[in-house]
């Protein structure tokens, strides 16, 4: 396994991070346990979850993934072997704390205490803001629409002050962002330095061969300010494994089960771009999914690549991507496809 520092800390996290969002929906607790056992044995010490998981998020499965992880900690007594990341939901889900899921004092405390209880742990290593409180063009939306009447509780300083209390109490070790913009990231870093408040150590945003928009503004910030990317959706919901090529729709796949939720990668040039990348993997005798993952892992601005598998076969294939080598020639051909089909699924 390969390891990198989390932000500017001495904490070493595996460059493959175990994603967990399918546990409690597509995967049972038994399957989740098997994945955790296997990943840890392979040197994957970094796991990511969120209070709103399982996915697609809904009231009935809120917190179920954290419960499964907590039950595994209780059974195995291996909490100290894992660097655990979770997230507090931003506003929009009415069933989460009656819709008042801001990053304010009591609300943040209730969210954190709820996660700690479900996870059966006293602390979370990396606590992330799942998406901004303010209006941003995230989750595949293009174009920024500014709203002058944004709610007053959208306050970066107050958010960091609130998080500091829990860092001081030992409930959180480090903090991070998710689905954040260059402006928001810079603002958080500015305020934390100026006011001597906890510093954001990571950004969890989408990054894959179909969506390289992170490179435009955030990559430079990641490198210069040591706030690396935790790349989610590195296989673009399975499109970059090749499973949906030639109009295939495997049973129990994400698109077959919840197609309306995963429309982000159903775009006009998706299949053309996927086929072009697939041909490169075929030409060099590489597993398509492993090539796609490795391309993400080798980027200088990436700290870790979050893999989410629904079968043990997928999990093993994904973890083994660390052993793949991409020559300069392969990387050049990949970049040439990006020039022809630039970010077909932003």
| pLDDT tens digits, one per residue of 310-326 | 999 999 999 999 999 99
Of 3, 53, 284, 341, the catalytic one is 53
pLDDT(216) > 70: yes
If we measure between CA atoms, which residue out of 185, 190, 92, 188 comes closest to residue 139? 92
Q: Which pLDDT score is estimated for 13?
A: 98
Q: Which pLDDT score is estimated for 150?
A: 67
pLDDT in tens, 21-45: 999 999 999 999 999 999 999 999 9
Q: Give how far Cα 97 sits from Cα of 54, 132, 151, 237, 266, Å.
A: 17, 17, 17, 29, 32
Which is more confident, 250 or 83? 83
Q: Which pLDDT score is estimated for 251?
A: 82
Average pLDDT score over the chain? 94
Q: Roughly what angle, to the nearest 10 degrees, separates helices 182-195 and 214-224?
A: 20
pLDDT in tens, 226-246: 999 999 999 999 999 999 898
pLDDT in tens, 32-78: 999 999 999 999 999 999 999 999 999 999 999 999 999 999 999 99
Annotation marks residue 53 as catalytic: yes
CA distance 316 to 141: 33
Average pLDDT on 148-161 reads: 78
- Per cent of the chain over pLDDT 90 is 83
Confidence of residue 261 (pLDDT cuts 50, 70, 90): low
**What is the token pair recorded at 294?**
């490795």
Confidence of residue 154 (pLDDT cuts 50, 70, 90): low
If we measure between CA atoms, which residue out of 197, 208, 205 comes closest to residue 179? 205
Q: Which pLDDT score is estimated for 259?
A: 66
Confidence of residue 151 (pLDDT cuts 50, 70, 90): low
Q: Which pLDDT score is estimated for 93?
A: 84
Q: Which pLDDT score is estimated for 285?
A: 98
The CATH classification number of 3-340 equals: 3.20.20.100
Indicate the SS3 state at residue 303. Answer: strand
Which residues make Cβ contacts (< 8 Å) with residue 183, sequence separation at least 6?
Answer: none
């Amino acid at each position: 396994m390969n390891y990198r520092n989390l932000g500017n800390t001495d904490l070493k996290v595996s460059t493959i991070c175990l994603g967990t969002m399918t546990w409690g929906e597509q995967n049972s607790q038994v399957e989740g346990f098997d994945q955790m056992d296997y990943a840890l044995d392979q040197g994957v010490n970094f796991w990511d979850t969120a209070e709103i998981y399982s996915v697609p998020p809904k009231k009935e499965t809120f917190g179920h993934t954290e419960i499964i992880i907590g039950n595994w900690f209780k059974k195995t007594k291996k909490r100290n072997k894992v660097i655990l990341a979770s997230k507090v939901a931003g506003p929009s889900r009415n069933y989460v704390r009656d819709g008042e899921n801001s990053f304010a004092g009591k609300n943040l405390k209730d969210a954190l205490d709820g996660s700690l209880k479900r996870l059966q742990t006293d602390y979370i290593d990396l606590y992330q803001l799942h998406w901004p409180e303010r209006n941003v063009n995230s989750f595949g939306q293009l174009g920024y629409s500014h709203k002058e009447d944004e709610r007053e509780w959208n306050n970066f300083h107050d958010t960091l002050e609130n998080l500091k209390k829990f860092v001081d109490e030992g409930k959180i070790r480090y903090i991070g962002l998710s689905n954040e913009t260059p402006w928001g990231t810079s603002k958080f870093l500015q305020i934390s330095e100026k006011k001597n408040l906890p510093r954001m150590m990571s950004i969890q945003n989408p990054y894959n061969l179909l969506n390289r928009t992170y490179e435009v503004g955030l990559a430079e910030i990641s490198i210069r300010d040591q706030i690396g990317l935790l790349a989610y959706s590195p296989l673009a919901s399975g499109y970059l494994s090749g499973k949906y090529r030639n109009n295939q729709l495997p049973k129990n796949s994400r698109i077959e089960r919840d197609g309306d939720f995963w429309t982000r990668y159903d775009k006009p040039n998706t299949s053309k771009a996927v086929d072009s990348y697939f041909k490169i993997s075929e030409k060099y005798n590489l597993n398509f999914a492993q090539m796609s993952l490795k391309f993400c892992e080798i980027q200088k601005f990436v700290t870790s690549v979050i893999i989410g598998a629904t079968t043990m076969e997928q999990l093993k294939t994904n973890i083994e991507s660390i052993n793949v080598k991409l020559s300069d020639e392969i990387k050049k051909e990949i970049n040439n496809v990006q020039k022809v089909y630039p970010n077909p699924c932003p």
